[in-house]
Amino acid sequence: MKMNALGNTGIVVSRMCFGSLTIGPLQKNKTLAESREIIAAALDQGVNFFDTADLYNNYDHLKNAINIKRDVIISTKSYDYTADGVKKRLHRALTELGRDYVDLYLLHEQESRKTIEGHWEAIEALIRMKDAGKVRAIGISTHRVEGVRDAATFSELDVIMPLINRTGIGIQDGTAEEMEIAIHEAKLAGKGIYGMKPLGGGNLLSQKQACFDYVLGLEDLDAIAIGVQSVDEVLYNVKQFNGEKISEALASAVLDASKSLQISDWCVGCGECVRHCKQKALFLKKGKAVLNKEKCVLCCYCGAYCKEFCIKVI
């Protein structure tokens, strides 16, 4: 597994980043024993980089990784914009991970300079936590070209996690080519960059090989986060990252691994999920939430806002 320096952070990560949303309660809801096996397989293959978020509710799963290998790199995220909020969320991460630091702390879905400035109190708190050794590097995730461009201009931000895939599905304000240019500029500015949604959240599974070829060819990406839900998927993805031949048996073992978002029929039509889906993949019809599958990138953000627990990705 190729290892890369993550920008100027001094942190070295495997090019494959283990996207942990999939194993947690918002998606496949693996047991701790099952996820331990999947994580152990990834560690065995040289993966040292694990991506999570407060929203994913899966720190107990990632504790498995730390218990196996103390110096794994963990990146977490939250939506906080206040110092108090980010302090609470970091405290939760440290407590549930059983560690006295996290490697990366990102703020989710930053759209532009204005959004970043609107979160400045949280960013200042993160800078203090970094000085105190509780966080090694800070940054943002974004689905927007403008988010990457603007984040690159802030010296306080070390890392950017942009959405990138070959068709550009999920990029809210531009094309894949425009995102590539913004990523390149951010890379030149010394930012650590790790991409997300290389398969468009499952929407591009029919062109999986082309998607891997595209994203692995983007040299500005220090790492790429990809969700995994089984040991076979770990092995398959690692082979893709290593440019190794994939047997037919392994390829067919991961064929059935697609996911979809389901909305239960007890939806009360409150519209909260619609309001929080930045991809505009949800709408209300006859008092119920309805999904436009073509726009959905399976980020699971909407599920966190449904008080009725009707949204699941399975």
Nearest approach in angstroms of CB 219 to ligand SF4 is: 28
* CA contacts within 13 A on the Cβ side of 95: 8
Q: In the complex with ligand SF4, which residue's Cβ is closer, 193 or 261?
A: 261
Q: In the complex with ligand SF4, which residue's Cβ is closer, 257 or 310?
A: 310
Q: In the complex with ligand SF4, which residue's Cβ is closer, 135 or 277?
A: 277
Nearest approach in angstroms of CB 203 to ligand SF4 is: 10
Nearest approach in angstroms of CB 268 to ligand SF4 is: 5
Nearest approach in angstroms of CB 204 to ligand SF4 is: 14
Nearest approach in angstroms of CB 309 to ligand SF4 is: 8
Q: In the complex with ligand SF4, which residue's Cβ is closer, 34 or 272?
A: 272
Residue 152 CA to residue 21 CA, distance in Å, equals: 26
Nearest approach in angstroms of CB 277 to ligand SF4 is: 3
Count residues binding ligand SF4 (CB under 6 A): 27
Nearest approach in angstroms of CB 192 to ligand SF4 is: 25
3-class state of residue 291 by DSSP: strand
Type and span of the H or E element at 162:
strand 159-162
Q: In the complex with ligand SF4, which residue's Cβ is closer, 186 or 261?
A: 261
Handedness of CA 31, 232, 15, 37 (dihedral sign): positive
Residue 270 CA to residue 290 CA, distance in Å, equals: 12
Nearest approach in angstroms of CB 118 to ligand SF4 is: 20
Handedness of CA 222, 78, 227, 303 (dihedral sign): negative
Residue 195 CA to residue 197 CA, distance in Å, equals: 7
Nearest in space to 86 (alpha carbons), one of 25, 23, 130: 130
3-class state of residue 3 by DSSP: strand
Q: Which two tokens stand for residue 175?
A: 């094309």
**Beta strand pairing status for 261-263 and 311-313?**
antiparallel
Strand partners, 106: 77, 139
Q: In the complex with ligand SF4, which residue's Cβ is closer, 99 or 259?
A: 259
251 binding ligand SF4? (CB under 6 A):
no
Contacting ligand SF4 within 259-278 (CB under 6 A): 261, 263, 267-273, 277
Instruction: Write the interaction track for ligand SF4 spanning residues 273-312; mark x where CB under 6 A is met and - where it is not.
Output: x---x-x-xx------x-x----xxxxxxx--xx-x-xx-
Q: In the complex with ligand SF4, which residue's Cβ is closer, 211 or 300?
A: 300
Instruction: Write the interaction track for ligand SF4 spanning residues 188-207; mark x where CB under 6 A is met and - where it is not.
Output: --------------------
Q: In the complex with ligand SF4, which residue's Cβ is closer, 126 or 297?
A: 297
Distances (CA, A) of 282 to 12, 104, 291, 293: 38, 31, 5, 9
User: How many CB atoms lie under 10 A from the CB of residue 204?
Assistant: 20
Q: Which two tokens stand for residue 72?
A: 């794994």
Distances (CA, A) of 122 to 63, 136, 159: 25, 16, 16
- For ligand SF4, the binding residues (CB under 6 A) are 261, 263, 267-273, 277, 279, 281-282, 289, 291, 296-302, 305-306, 308, 310-311
